[in-house]
Amino acid sequence: MHLVKTILTAGLLLSAAAQAHNVLEFPQPENNPEEFYAVTEIPAGGIIKYETDAKTGFIVADRFQSMPVAYPANYGSLTQSLAGDGDPLDVVFYTRAPMAPGTLIKLRPIGVLKMIDGGEKDDKIIAVPASKIDPTYDDIKTITDLPKIEQQRLEAFFRVYKELPEGRKKVELAGFNDAAAAKQEIKSAWEAWKAKNPHNPQ
């Protein structure tokens, strides 16, 4: 009986420890914003909007896309980041195969899609894998290196993805900014997170 109680107690402690590790608190690399970590929420080609719960770090199904469009690239959130809307900074990133929700990946920023969602700034960092993860994208240094058709697909998707059901927030796009602008947004979001979490180890 004592052994069973010990095993149950150990299991509860391990469960609590696992829940204490929120993926959104995963440390950023020392060379941030040149490279950064993000958690995958939606794989390329997906039609389900997953989100990372800010309190627990669990991946939660938020909704199915009402518009008949799929995400043109992977979508996720930067860890240890706080954007102007109070949420983690969003990232859209390219890989040779769709990423699994909940997976952490080190990325390199190449640009920013400037976006307003319901009157609120909601920019999307555009990124590719860090060279050590996949050197396929090494020649893509900034947004203009990304094929024009990919840029157009990104804009087309975000222009319409919230049109259904009717009455949702209006989305406005204002083009792209370059890699330097992306790095500045990443740095600002990281600094904002650190200011809000001064006792969290970096």
Output the CA angle 88-102-90, nearest 5 degrees: 25
122 marked as binding residue: yes
Question: 90 a known binding residue?
Answer: yes
Q: Is 138 annotated as a binding residue?
A: no
Would the annotation count 161 as a binding residue?
yes
pTM for this structure? Answer: 0.88
Average pLDDT across the chain, whole number: 91
Whether residue 12 has pLDDT greater than 60:
no
Start-to-end Cα distance in the chain: 42
Mean pLDDT, range 188-202, rounded to an integer: 89
Structural domains in the chain?
Answer: 22-196 (3.90.80.10)
* Tens digit of each residue's pLDDT (9 = 90 or more) over 17-28: 445 589 999 999
Is residue 49 a known part of a binding site? yes
Closest CA to 122 of 148, 180, 161: 161
